[in-house]
Amino acid sequence: MRTPQFRVKANADGSKRYYWEPSASTRALGFKPLRLSDDKGRAILEAKERNLEVDEYRHKLARGLFEGAKAGTVRALIGMYKSHDDYLLLAERTRRDYGYNLELIARKLGDARITDVTPPIVQALKRAWSASPSQANHVCRVLRLLLSFAKRQGMIKSNPALGFKQYREPPRHSVWTPDEERRFLAVCGPELALVYVLAVHTAQRQGDLLALPWSACHDGMITLKQAKTGQKIDVPISARLGKALEEAPRVSPVICTRNGRPWKADHFRHTFKAAMVKARIEGRTFHDLRRTAVVRMAEAGCTIPEIASLSGHQLETTSRIIETYLPRNRRLAQAAVAKLEQWQPEPE
């Protein structure tokens, strides 16, 4: 029978060496690869012992993640979920976001028995954050996932969080102005300047840009697979972006720190925010650059399908692109009037 996480690698002379290589979810728990004994039988035993350690750790984590959690409560369920692959295999940022919302759920419902969580309880939880529709929606989505996990584990027969409508969130209409761009680029340094130009000329998300390898830039195109959607995108490299890439040092990935190392997501966010403060820019975020790119394309006369092909949105979400990413502004209105003035009715 195959021993999980036991790996064999061949040496140049034909001999073999043995390793215990943890899965992605096991790595997320903090376990690292381990070189095993050269004797195969002994190595297999060591791998099995290591697997038992992982199982015991998961059990302790599930049982004691929230100190004092009683079996059958929401708090204990959260502990089980956070030690399960359903949670551990999520992207790092997603785990962090889910973890924050799970803490909020634990504060409100932690001591409640899972079987006592009914639709009215879910509705009350939703209303507890009604002053912040976005936060209420995030909490309810995570609660729905948590209770779906409980159902799959046979702890409840149905998910009481299904069927709840989300609060309507007002679309964010924040875009970077040309003046803000000039101020930011004047103080941010070459590393952040490159990521800024990449963002406004590709309309891609922060995570995809920070992970972009040089091998993705070829033949006048940037080819990438969006981590969030799995969508493969081909982005033509504009003249301005091409110049910025030519001047960038050939370290990997494309966007690196001053020391030539890949950015950690939190470090990048803090550094980018500090540059914004230095440039006296308020009320903007990095994600607004994605919106800014879309707005600029619209103002340049690009069609919705053209915009979607670059940003990675599906064509059927065109209406949402218009509502979310194309704020009505003076320049768009002026362009509409100019086109109207040039229009001539067909003679009857």
pLDDT digits (tens, 9 = 90+) for 304-330: 788 888 887 666 654 565 566 555 566
pTM over 0.75: no
Q: How many CB atoms lie within 10 A of CB 68?
A: 10
Last residue of a domain, one of 135, 152, 169: 152
Domain co-membership, 56 together with 95:
no
Rounded Cα distance, 134 and 142, in Å? 13
Task: State mean pLDDT over 3-17.
Answer: 88
Domain co-membership, 83 together with 130:
yes
Last residue of a domain, one of 34, 64, 94: 64
pLDDT higher than threshold 50 for residue 341: yes
* Domain annotation covers residue 54: yes
Domain co-membership, 138 together with 278:
no
Confidence of residue 212 (pLDDT cuts 50, 70, 90): very high
Rounded Cα distance, 171 and 164, in Å? 20
* Domain annotation covers residue 250: yes
Instruction: Write out the DSSP string of 223-274.
Output: EEE-TTT--EEEEEPPHHHHHHHHHS---SSSSB-TTS-BPPHHHHHHHHHH
Contacts 24+ apart (CB under 8 A), 76-81: 77/114, 77/146, 77/149, 77/150, 77/155, 78/102, 78/105, 78/106, 78/110, 78/146, 80/149, 80/153, 81/146, 81/149
Rounded Cα distance, 169 and 133, in Å? 6
* Domain annotation covers residue 230: yes
Q: CATH no. for residue 211? A: 1.10.443.10
Domain co-membership, 111 together with 40:
no
Domain co-membership, 188 together with 332:
yes
Domain co-membership, 206 together with 324:
yes
Sign of the CA dihedral 101, 104, 109, 113? positive
Residue-level pLDDT at 172: 61
* Domain annotation covers residue 347: no
Give how far Cα 13 sits from Cα of 9, 16, 35, 124, 246, Å: 12, 9, 18, 67, 44
Q: Which range among 65-74, 105-114, 169-178, 298-307 has the greatest average pLDDT?
A: 105-114
pLDDT higher than threshold 90 for residue 180: yes
Domain co-membership, 126 together with 217:
no
* Domain annotation covers residue 69: no
- For a pLDDT cut of 90, what percent of the chain falls above it? 37
* Domain annotation covers residue 25: yes
Tell me if 194 sits within 8 A of 310, measured CB to CB: no
pLDDT higher than threshold 60 for residue 234: yes
Task: State mean pLDDT over 252-260.
Answer: 88
Provide the terminal-to-terminal Cα distance of the chain, rounded to the nearest Å.
84
Please, what is the average pLDDT of the chain?
84
**Residue 100: how many CA atoms within 13 Å on its side-chain side?**
8
Q: How many domains does one find in the chain?
A: 3
* Domain annotation covers residue 57: yes
pLDDT by residue (tens digit) across 271-284? 999 999 999 998 89
**Choice between 304 and 155, residue whose per-residue pLDDT is larger:** 155
Domain co-membership, 243 together with 293:
yes
The runs of H, that is alpha helices, within 153-203 are 178-187, 190-202
Q: Which two tokens stand for residue 46?
A: 């060591």
Task: State mean pLDDT over 141-164.
Answer: 93
Domain co-membership, 270 together with 204:
yes
Domain co-membership, 212 together with 326:
yes
Task: State mean pLDDT over 197-222.
Answer: 92
Domain co-membership, 309 together with 192:
yes
Residue-level pLDDT at 318: 45
Domain co-membership, 35 together with 119:
no
Q: Any idea which of 43-57, 213-227, 277-291, 311-325 has the lowest mean pLDDT?
A: 311-325
Q: Domain of 42? A: 6-64
Residue 109: partners with Cβ closer than 8 Å, 6 or more residues away: 74, 117, 121, 125
Q: Which two tokens stand for residue 91?
A: 């992207």
Last residue of a domain, one of 137, 152, 167: 152
* Domain annotation covers residue 161: no
